[in-house]
Amino acid sequence: MRLLGKQEIEDIAKGSTLLGAGGGGDPHIGMLMAIQAVEEYGPIQLLTVDEVPDDAFVVSSAGFGAPTIFVEKPFGGLETKHAMTVLEQHMGKEVFATFPIEAGGANSMLPLVTAAQLGLPVVDVDGMGRAFPLLQLTSFYLDGLTATPMVLADEQANTTLIDTVDTPWAERIARSVTIQLGGAAGCAVYPMTGKNLKESGILNVLTYAEEIGRAARLAKEANVDPVQEVLKVANGFELFRGKVVDVDRRTDDGWAKGAVKIEGLFGYQGQQMELRVQNENMLAKVDNRLVCVTPDLISVIDAETGVAITTEGVRYGMRVVVVGIPCHPKWRTAKGLEISGPDYFGYDVAYTPVEELMKGRDLK
Amino acid sequence: MRLLGKQEIEDIAKGSTLLGAGGGGDPHIGMLMAIQAVEEYGPIQLLTVDEVPDDAFVVSSAGFGAPTIFVEKPFGGLETKHAMTVLEQHMGKEVFATFPIEAGGANSMLPLVTAAQLGLPVVDVDGMGRAFPLLQLTSFYLDGLTATPMVLADEQANTTLIDTVDTPWAERIARSVTIQLGGAAGCAVYPMTGKNLKESGILNVLTYAEEIGRAARLAKEANVDPVQEVLKVANGFELFRGKVVDVDRRTDDGWAKGAVKIEGLFGYQGQQMELRVQNENMLAKVDNRLVCVTPDLISVIDAETGVAITTEGVRYGMRVVVVGIPCHPKWRTAKGLEISGPDYFGYDVAYTPVEELMKGRDLK
């Protein structure tokens, strides 16, 4: 167990933006909420999964819905608390601890807020090791665990308890309820035991995010290139550097789809990168050659500030560094790729790990 | 207590079509389901509210969603059973009896099916005394009772338990969930005590529907005009007779809106009726003079068969009799008219009871 204060929260938030792979929403507002919660309730206990008893009842807390709405209509903070309370009552069990469903983006922060408000610890684990846009895209789901019973709640305590035959059904219903609640809702989801969490979670992911965020911070203080420091910690690769020359964005079937074109600079002159976006950055090509593809993480970093940018934040003219980070090995299994690979998102390329694609590049 | 068998169910279904005021869906499929349930489980017990203990836990069971879908995708019969079971578990109470939320249309029949399957009695009461298209349009709501906690379920037992700050919120969420479930769902709703039911329900409404249906059946057997016999039992008025010359239908904001023009025949020659439809028949004018308006019931009867027709069933060329029936007095209070009067549905006329409008006509 260790305590998370303001500095730790800031580092986690920064690292989570990178792990969001462009999605999951900007954690900035979540970070401010978490810092405020720490100031009000004191530091938050962070547990490793080993500190959670096998039979403990643990529940993820999250924001559900469009991250863009979350920015316009930030949570009052009571949403997830309401959701947790209803789920506790329904299941007749007391929650031992909460944890993030995704350590990428805003949802890395909300469990900290919930934990502070409910006086619970947070477990250093998530179900993605990154951000993904669907309830079923979790390591828990890969192991046969279900998101339900789950509860959605708004700030008024309008609550909806969803219990379905499988998680894709829950995703569908939760999505439509959330639209009625204004586009974003608090959520208590993936109730499970401590044993489930140990076996099926992606471990130490908040610490991983924190280390990434800290590396960026220290590099900036030492006036060295934050991107290289971050890549060392994240075991990632620089894919490209250049200037954004085209951003095509549209909302299609409830997805933020788009494509970004980047013209090479600093050693990439004469080359062009194309990014394909479906909420997250899903596929990156340089001169039509694949350099990184989902479920590996593709993140765009502002070259001037060293801060990762969400897909909504990418603008014409920005100088950026695009990096690729190997996803958690759970996503690279046949079952994992089935729901997170290029095929699932409609891209006609075979999945190849980013480190292999990079090897090929070195040989060129 | 009395028992409902095949004949009673047929009479109730026929009477309910009239009380549906054109809406609530055709009870025919529901009737077939109820008859099948009776054949399988034996006759259904019908209780008067006086036979329900004050502290008994009672819950309405209903179909939720578009009646048109209900025809295309009839219930397997397990939907409401699933919903009732989840609500029972959630509230930790055993259901004593079920009852219809509306005695108009298909929802007059579904509680009979649920009752047969769960071995429960049905109470002779509803919350509308007719059909209305929104969860909050009930006499229960007028008395401050709420529809929630309520449960929606599909045939697979995908369930959603909704608990909101007020019933309009529940209506909004339930509507969107039902669309995800394919457009129609089984529903356990308006959980309350026997005391609530006695004080706030519209009493003996299934018997009322049955008497209407029986009058039509006996008239047909005796070869007399069924419309006049039905009007005697229903305390209703003949508003018009004629031939349908124009049907304008559109779906607007999830509502089946439309207008029907009828050219007078049999003593109404030279006159024209216009009906305005919003799921139900809402307003009737003859030569631009108001003759009946919501919440009073306007029903269209096929002159040849004596059977009431739902708004979807009205066709060009049909010979019809249009009748008006006074609504339950609860709808004529200031509070009742606020949510069921012409103003609520966007018609710029003052509510006047059908019997007063008819008096004026006699003087002409």
Contacts of B165 in chain A (CB under 8 A): 156-158
Contact A157 B176 (CB under 8 A): no
Helices (H), chain A: 6-19, 28-41, 67-72, 78-91, 110-118, 139-142, 167-180, 194-200, 205-221, 226-234, 334-340, 354-363
Which ranges of chain A have pLDDT less than 50?
363-364
Q: Average pLDDT in the B166-179 region?
A: 94
Question: Given CB atoms, is A173 within the 8 Å cutoff of chain B?
Answer: yes
| Assigned superfamily of A2-203 | CV3147-like domain (3.40.1610.10)
What SS3 state is found at B132?
coil
**In the prediction, which pLDDT does B253 show?**
66
Tens of pLDDT, residue by residue over B264-308, are: 998 999 999 999 999 899 999 999 999 999 999 999 999 887 889
Q: Average pLDDT in the B157-171 region?
A: 96
Give the pLDDT band of residue B363 (cuts 50, 70, 90): very low
Is it true that A2-203 and A235-363 share their CATH fold? Answer: no
Question: Given CB atoms, is B146 within the 8 Å cutoff of chain A?
Answer: no
Domain ranges of chain B: 2-203, 235-363
Contacts of A82 in chain B (CB under 8 A): none
User: CA A206, A208, A211, A212 torsion: positive or negative?
Assistant: negative
Question: Would you say B22 and B280 are in contact if contact means Cβ atoms under 8 Å apart?
Answer: yes
Contact A173 B172 (CB under 8 A): no
**In the prediction, which pLDDT does B23 show?**
87
Q: Of all helices (H) and strands (E), which one includes residue A284?
A: strand A280-286
Give the pLDDT band of residue B364 (cuts 50, 70, 90): very low
**In the prediction, which pLDDT does B272 show?**
97
Q: Average pLDDT in the B22-35 region?
A: 87
Instruction: Tell me the ipTM for this assembly.
Output: 0.82
Task: For residue A304, give the amino acid letter.
Answer: E
Q: Average pLDDT in the B252-275 region?
A: 90
Tens of pLDDT, residue by residue over B321-358, are: 999 999 999 999 999 999 999 999 999 999 999 999 99
Q: List the CATH code of the domain at B235-363.
A: 2.40.390
Closest CA to A299 of A217, A210, A237: A237
* β-strands B125-126, A125-126 pairing: unpaired
CB atoms within 10 A of CB A199: 15
What is the percentage of chain A residues whose pLDDT exceeds 70?
96
Contacts of B163 in chain A (CB under 8 A): 86, 158-161
Contact B180 A176 (CB under 8 A): yes
**pTM higher than 0.90:** no
**In the prediction, which pLDDT does A364 show?**
39
Long-range contacts, B341-350 (Cβ 8 Å, 24+): B341/B293, B341/B294, B341/B295, B342/B282, B342/B283, B342/B293, B342/B294, B345/B278, B345/B282, B345/B294, B347/B276, B347/B282, B347/B283, B347/B293, B347/B294, B349/B283, B349/B290, B349/B293
